[in-house]
Amino acid sequence: MVKNKNIGGRPNRSSTCKTKTAASKTANNKDLTSLDKPAEGDVPSVAPALQTSSQDQLGFPDRVYLLASVIFQNNHLEKPVAHRLVNYGKERGLSLPEVKDEEMQRTAYELAFNTLKYQELLEDIMIDSCFYLTQPMPDDQMSLVAVMLYDFQDRKFLPWERQGVDEIVQEVRDVENYLLRFKTKLAASLARCRIKHDLLSIECILPESVKTKQERSSSLPLYAWVNTQRSSLDEVLSVLKSVGFSQVKSIGQLEGQTFCQDSHCGDVVVFPAQLKAQLYTTKLLSDHKLIIQDKSCCLGPNAVCALLPEGGDVLMAGCFSGLTVSHTASLIAEKHKANSGNHQHTVYVCVSDHTNTQREELQQAVTAMGCKNVKLIPEVFQSLDGADKRLQRVRVILLTPKCSVSAVSNLVEFILQENGDTELLQDLSQGSIAQSKLEALVAQQRKDIDHALKFPKVLAVVYSTCSSYQEENEEVVSRALEQANACSEQEGEPKQANFRLSPFPFSIPDHAEGPEETDPFFMLEPSEQNNGCFLAVLSREPKPVEAPHEVIIRANAKGILDKIGSNQPTRKEQHGPTNRATKTTHARASQPHLSVSIQAKNQETKASNSTTLCGHQEFTNRRQMSQGKAKALRLQATKNTASSSFSSPKPENSTPKKSTTPVSNTTISTTTLHPAPPPATPLTPVVRPRRAHQEVLKPVVLVLPPVHFPNFFPPQHSRTGFSASFNNRQWKPSAQTRPLPRSSGGLSKDGQIIPSVLST
C-alpha cells in the first residue's frame, strides 16, 4: 500500500525516549536495516509524481532535492568559525529554482525544514564517517549533501529508485553516487551517535517543543469553510451525507468517514485528517464550494462579519492568503445580500508586502471563489489614512500582522498557504525565536495596530496572530489601547471616542473547549485538535458629550471667551452682586458725576425724615429739596444720553467730565442750610453703570408737571412765586413768599409735597 506523504514525504514516526537497556541497543541496531511497515488506513497521495514503488524505496525528483538544498542554504544555522564542522559556503539569499507544482514545492520545504532540525546530527555523521574529509565536494554543494543525507538515512540507506521519466540534474546524481559509496560508514556513524546520546530514535534529539509539534501535525483534523458564493451550507452537508459521510456533534467524536460543524465558526466543517483524498472525489474542493484552511485563519473573517454594520466596508492589512480574503468577502456579501442594491460591501486589501507572484495568486484565488467585492490597494498600510476617498466607508479593519507562528504545529504547510515568512524556519526548527527577530516582529506589530486605531470612522479593529508569545499578543494590544486613549485626552482638545476591548463575537456551546466569555482576549491553545491562535477585538466607544464646564475650559484655552469660569474677574463679574460695594467705590472714583446724584439723594432723604423744621425756613428747605430732586432727575436723564461715560474704563476720556464742576457747585449751594457729614461707609448707588456692549441707551427727556399750591399765592404770582435761574444753576426764592403754618402741608413717604387749605 502506498503511504501518504507527511513531513519529508514519509509519515512522522513519533516515539518516546527511554533509558538505554540491552534490549534498546538491539532494537537500535535493527532499526538501521529494517523498514517501517505501512500503517493501515493510509490514503493515496494527491501528488502522483511523488509516489514510490511497492518496495517503499522512496525518492523525490531531482528538482525537489535541488530546491530543498537552496532553502537549506538560505536558512541554515551558521556557527562560529571555531565551532564549525562543515562549511556550506558564504552564499546566502539565493534565488529559488522555479517549481510550478505546488506539491513538489511543499515537499521541498518540508525536506529542508527537517534537515534544519537535524543539522547538528547530520554534521556529526559526515565528520565521523570521514565523508566530509575524503570526498572532493565543493563547499557550495554541502547543502545538497545535507538534504540528501537526511533523506538517505530516513529511507534506511536504501538506494534511490525513481519511476517514470524525471528531469535529470547532474549535481544531484553526483551527490547520490557519493552517498551510496559511503553507505556502510554513514550507517555506522549514525548508530554510534544514537548510542552516544542514548537515542531510541533520532526524534529524541529534538527539543521537546519541536517534538510535540511534530507529533501533533500528523493528527490535526481538516478544517474547511463553505464558500457561499458557490454553494451554501445546506447544500454542502447534503452532498457529504449523500456520499456516505455522517455528521457527529464534536471533534472528539470524529472517527472514520464523519464530519462535524465547528463550535466557533458556523460555516466551518471539520473532517478527520486522513479523509482529504476522499473529499476530492466529491468535487466539493475542485468546484471551490468547500475550501480547506486552518481554523486560526477562519476566526478573523467571522469576527469581521459579525462586527460590520450595514453600509460599511472592510480593510485588510498584514500577512494573509487569497483564501482569507475570499472568505472575508464571501461572508459579508452573504450577510448583506438583501441590501446589496444600495451599497456593495467592499473588501480593500493592502498588498504592498506581497510579491508579484503572491499578488497574482491572490487575484486568481479571489476570481476562482467568485468574489466580486474585493479591491487591491498597492500602497503601504502606514501611508493610508481616513482622508482617503476609497476608505470613507471602512468601518472594520482586519489586522493579521507577520508573527512568529509559534503556536502552529504544521509549520511548513501553514507558512506556504498563508504567505508566511520562510526566514523563520531555522528558528522554528530549534523550537524558539531569536530575541532580535522577535523584537523586530513586535515593533512592526505595534506600528500596524497604532495606525489602525487612528482611522476616525473605524468602529472596530480585529487583531489576530498565530503566536504563543505574550509580547506579540496581550502586550501589543494593551499598549496600543493605552497610547490611543492617552492621545484622545490632550488638553485643549475635544475628547475623542476611546477604544476598548470587546467580547469575542463567537458563540460557544457548552461542550466546546475555548476561552470563557469573560476573557478579554480570544485564545486557543495548540492541541491535537487545532493550532493555537490569538484574537482581540478593539471597539470604539460612543463619543462622549462634553459637559458645559468642559466646553468653557476648552474655549478659554483657545482664547475664545474672556476667561469664563476662571478666578480672573471678567466684565460680567464687575456688574455682579457679589462684589457690588467694591465695584461701587471703583465707579465713584472713576466717575465723579455719580457722587452728585448720590449726595443729593442722601440729603433729600435726611430732610424728608426731619420733623423739627418749621416756619418759613422749613418750607424753604422743603421746596429746595423738592426742586433739588427734580434737578437731580433731569441731570440723571442728561447723563443717560452720554452712555459712553458709564462704560468707559478711563474717566479722563469721558465726555461728560466737563459738566462735573457746575453740578458740584449746585450741590454746595443747596446744602449750606443743613451741611451733612460725608458718609462713613460707601453707599449703594441708585443707578448702576451699564455695559455699553450689551445695550445701547437712548436719550430720555423727563418733563415734570408744574407744582400748584392753591390758596397759597395770588393768581398773578402762581407762576412767579419761585424763579429759577438755570443759567447760574441756583434756586432763588420769591420776595412775596409767606411762612406757612406747620399744619399747612407735609411730605409724603416718597418725598412729595402735600398741600392743604389754610385759613386766613
What is the spatial distance between Cα 157 and Cα 224, in angstroms, rounded to a whole number?
39
* DSSP tally for the chain: helices H, then strands E: 25, 17
User: Are the C-beta atoms of 408 and 464 separated by less than 8 Å?
Assistant: no
596 vs 215: CA distance, rounded Å: 107
Residue 178's CB is within 10 A of a number of other CB atoms, namely 18
* Residue 462: how many other CB atoms lie within 10 Å: 29
Identify the DSSP state of 38.
P
Q: Grid coordinates representing 624?
A: 429746595
Helix axes 299-307, 322-335, angle to 10 degrees: 30
Q: Choose among 131, 415, 207: nearest CA to 294.
A: 415
Distance CA 193, CA 128 (A): 9
Strand, helix or coil at 58? coil
Q: Which three cell numbers stand for residue 4?
A: 501518504
The catalytically annotated residue of 260, 466, 533, 614 is 466
SS3 377: strand
Contact 720, 734 (CB under 8 A): yes
CA atoms within 13 A on the CB side of 724: 12
466 carries an active-site annotation = yes
Task: Give the Å distances, CA to CA, from 306 to 414, 499, 508, 512, 694.
Answer: 25, 18, 14, 20, 57
Assess contact for 264 and 303: CB atoms under 8 A. Answer: no
Q: How far apart are CA 40 and CA 559, in angstroms?
A: 84
| CA of residue 569 relative to chain centroid, distance | 43
Three cell numbers, residue 110: 518540508
Indicate the angle between helix axes 660-670 and 615-641, nearest 10 degrees.
160
Q: Is 93 left (phi over 0), alpha (psi -120 to 50) or beta?
A: left
DSSP letters for 381-401: GGG--TT-GGGTTEEEEEEE-
Residue type, 264: H
Handedness of CA 17, 20, 21, 24 (dihedral sign): positive
Does residue 608 contact residue 751 with C-beta atoms inside 8 Å? yes
Q: Which one, of 134, 120, 129, lies nearest residue 83 by Cα?
A: 120
C-alpha R_g of the chain: 50
Cell reading at 282: 466529491
Of the candidates 581, 589, 575, 600, the residue with the CA atom closest to the CA atom of residue 691: 575
What's the rounded Cα separation, in Å, for the pair 358 and 259?
32
Q: Are 431 and 211 spatial neighbours (Cβ–Cβ below 8 Å)?
A: no
Which of the residues are catalytic? 466
